[in-house]
């Protein structure tokens, strides 16, 4: 970012103001390591979205359209999680640098195994969110800390949602009429209004 700081200094000189006054003008500028970490988390959220879309395709190929509906909503939510971070970067004068998304698997086993994989993935995302929050604290980025509170709460919900479905699948045995009834139940899932904000 040497070029960026050169432009920054040049602009200060042109304005005939001191470096501290210049810093006040440029208050929106985020630290490079914070920007990097946010871009990294955008990638992780899009990877989550891609994974859930792959899972939706898989369960729908097994004629479990309710499970597919649930996972498609999850795909949409993850896309919103990524976009929320992207919007935050832009509002703070940061640079959006999208990264490659890894291809997800095409098969995921039984419905129980699908949701065990969802839970495992969300636990991984929770660890990442906590790490990003820790960075926001150590870098004294207060705005990012506030934003991360939303993600921390969201992860509690994500893990709980996956756990509840796992428990139900264990209870019903994951096949026959009871699996059909759970599929009907999952079809009733509504989009999360909060995630759209
Ligand atoms: Mg997410």
Cα 172 to middle of ligand 1, angstroms: 28
- With vertex at residue 15, the alpha carbon angle to CA 9 and CA 18, rounded to the nearest 5 degrees, is 65
CATH 3.30.1360.30 matches 31-196: no
If you measure from the C-alpha of residue 11 to the centroid of ligand 1, how many angstroms do you get, rounded to a whole number?
39
State in Å: Cα 76 to ligand 1 middle.
10
Which pLDDT score is estimated for 7?
Answer: 47
Using one digit for the tens of pLDDT, what is the confidence trace for 131-163? Answer: 999 999 999 999 999 999 999 999 999 999 999
Please name the residue ranges forming H helices in the chain: 2-15, 19-25, 32-61, 65-91, 111-138, 142-172, 176-186
pLDDT at 24: 56
Tell me how far the alpha carbon of residue 195 lies from the centroid of ligand 1, in angstroms.
Answer: 10
* Per-domain boundaries in the chain: 1-29, 31-196
Distance 120 CA to ligand 1 centre (A): 13
Compute mean pLDDT per 10 residues along the chain, 197 residues long, and list them: 46 62 62 97 98 98 98 98 98 96 97 98 98 98 97 97 97 90 94 61
Per the CB < 8 A criterion, the answer to whether 32 and 95 are in contact is no
Q: What is the pLDDT of residue 174?
A: 77
Identify whether the C-beta of residue 169 lies closer than 8 Å to the C-beta of residue 115.
Answer: yes
Question: How does DSSP assign 14-67, residue by residue?
Answer: HHT--HHHHHHHTTTPPPHHHHHHHHHHHHHHHHHHHHHHHHHHHHHHTT-HHH
Q: What distance in angstroms lies between residue 81's CA and the mean position of ligand 1's atoms?
A: 5
Residue 21, pLDDT score: 61
Instruction: Name 50's Cβ contacts closer than 8 Å, sequence gap at least 6.
Output: 75, 101, 102, 103, 104
At residue 195, the pLDDT reads 45
- CA 88 to centroid of ligand 1, rounded, Å: 15
Distance between Cα 138 and ligand 1 center (Å):
23
Rounded to the nearest angstrom, the distance between the alpha carbon of 125 and the centre of ligand 1 is 7
The Cα 138–Cα 106 span in angstroms is 39
pLDDT digits (tens, 9 = 90+) for 92-102: 999 999 999 99
């Amino acid at each position: 970012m040497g070029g960026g700081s050169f432009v920054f200094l040049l602009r200060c000189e042109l304005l005939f103001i001191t470096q501290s006054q210049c810093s006040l003008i440029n208050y929106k500028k985020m630290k490079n390591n914070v920007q990097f970490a946010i871009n990294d988390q955008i990638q992780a959220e899009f990877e989550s979205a891609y994974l859930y879309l792959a899972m939706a395709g898989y369960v729908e190929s097994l004629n479990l359209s309710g499970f597919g509906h649930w996972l498609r909503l999850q795909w949409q939510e993850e896309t919103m999680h990524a976009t929320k971070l992207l919007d935050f970067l832009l509002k703070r004068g940061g640079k959006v640098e999208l990264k490659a998304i890894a291809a997800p698997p095409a098969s995921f086993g039984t419905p129980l195994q699908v949701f065990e994989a969802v839970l495992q993935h969300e636990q991984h995302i929770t660890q990442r969110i906590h790490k990003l929050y820790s960075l926001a604290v150590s870098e004294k980025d207060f705005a990012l800390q506030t934003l991360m509170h939303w993600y921390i709460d969201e992860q509690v919900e994500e893990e709980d949602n996956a756990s509840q479905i796992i428990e139900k699948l264990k209870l019903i045995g994951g096949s026959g009429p009871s699996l059909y009834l759970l599929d009907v139940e999952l079809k009733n899932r509504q989009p999360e209004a909060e995630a759209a904000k």
